[in-house]
Structure 1
């Protein structure tokens, strides 16, 4: 089982201040394992990355609010995420992982606890595609809650699951720019398919995870044209987040302050940054 590197403990201060009200729309909490054990069938073991550390990071970087995304190392045990949201005094919202056995009452409890969506991992190194029957049945339950679905895909999956993506009846978010590979160029088939997908008014995309798109060396500038293109295509349906504490990074560990600086390169227009960092996440997570 892979043991993950710890995040950079010394994030720089962003060169430009974030606007008041900015959201980190993709971050995680891990453990602490003594209180919230990791799933026995996990594919990796992260270092503890608790609520207190995340909150201090957001204070340092200048984020007002955040979205804690349940990661696969905790499986469908969402307690660490729910605990962090409860302790945040309204600052955080969440995206859960479910296994299909959840009752309506439990989903309603998670909604009351700040959850606004569910996430499915299709990525090969995290175990590959989920049970597609569970996926379909879960997605069908989300509309009544006003939730969305987050899809963590490998680039090829955008093509493999194109028909299924087209059938999703609620807003859905593609994580990390679809994990396209910068080395394959802006004209690669997977990125063209992602651009086409963004014509769907229910499709959203996170223009983060530059370290996963890049060939792997800081400051990950080869991810810039991909993010810029997606922001240009769908300025009303893009989100950005740090992805702290950056699980499964085997190349260059990002510095979160530098990632904020890179986001300013992604989105140089203040009006578009207002959408990216404030208006768009408010649509999905503001209530």
Structure 2
């Protein structure tokens, strides 16, 4: 397994304070290796990325809610995710990996633990775990009746070969990491234009994350801003934000997570829109409880 950069263990506060009930829509965690062993062919394992470390990072950033996404290192064994949700509490939900090996009893345990989404990872580095088209359809048929959303990770592939699999699904579909952008093409990138077209429909969402990693210009990642602003302009009511902590498969340098909230402030300079992305949108998609109380109180 190649060496990848470790997350910044000293997160700093963002320049602008986070609104109450702000949500980080994607993080990953790793459990005790003795209790939760990873797959021997795992592409990325960072046992330092515990749920406790994630909660400490969120406290510094002023994040009250989050979605813990199943790491590919665990395959369809969701034991570590379920334990993390127990520790994190009701302000956190899970997003799992479901295939035919996950029986109905397991699916029920996942739902009871707070899993509310199924993710399909088409990253080309995961050659041994790429979901087959018929598997995607079967999984959608099982989890959509539970009220789950669906997530697509398509970096490095042409989304036009994948998104038709879910074109007729009556469920919310989230595209991870701003879609598989090709920065060298600028805003004329056909991948980008395809994702913009999907956002014009009523049930497709885009998660603003990995703008730093995908940037060609480098820090402070100015070339990511135009794409993000176009997404926000197209459908501000269906945009999410995430750190993607602990930044899997990142060659480095890994950004400080406070910088990623600063980057969001450049994506969405209007405070009302930024609050929509951090609070209102994830609350609506993930079904977090509402209310006027501050969960940090």
What's the TM-score once normalised by structure 2's chain length? 0.91
Please name the residue that 1:190 is paired with.
191
Gaps of 5+ in 1: none
Tell whether the 8 Å contact from 2:180 to 2:191 is kept in structure 1 after alignment.
Answer: no
- In 2, the alpha carbon distance for the partners of 1:202 and 1:137 equals 19
Q: For 1:24 and 1:153, how far apart are their aligned partners in 2?
A: 20
Cα gap change, 1:18/1:39 in structure 2, threshold over 3 Å: closer, same or farther?
same
Please list every run of 5 or more consecutive structure 2 residues that lacks an aligned counterpart in the other structure: 289-297
Give, in whole Å, the separation in 2 of the partners of 1:13 and 1:58: 10
Contact 1:175/1:205 (8 A) holds in 2: yes
* Structure 1 residue 167: Cα displacement: 2.7
- Give secondary structure in 2 for the equivalent of 1:252: coil
TM normalised by structure 1 equals 0.94
State the partner residue of 1:48.
48
Partner of 1:44, secondary structure, is coil
Count of aligned positions: 287
**Deviation, structure 1 residue 41:** 2.7
Which residue matches 1:4? Answer: 4
Aligned to 2:82: 82
Partner residue of 1:264? 265
Partner of 2:18: 18
Which ranges of 4 or more aligned residues in structure 1 deviate by more than 6 Å?
Answer: none
SS in 2 for 1:139: helix
1:47–1:109: structure 2 CA closer, same or farther, 3 Å change rule? Answer: closer
Q: Distance in 1 between matches of 2:217 and 2:81?
A: 29
Contact 1:216–1:251 (CA<8 Å) still a contact in 2? Answer: no
User: How far has the Cα of 1:142 moved from its partner?
Assistant: 1.9
* Residue correspondence of structure 1 range 161-180 to structure 2 within 5 A: 161-180=162-181
SS at match of 1:3: coil
* Per-residue deviation, 1:91: 2.1
- Mapping of residues 17-36 of structure 1, within 5 Å: 17-36=17-36
Q: Which moved more, 1:255-264 or 1:46-55?
A: 46-55
What's 1:135 paired with? 136
| Alpha-carbon offset, residue 193 of structure 1 | 0.9
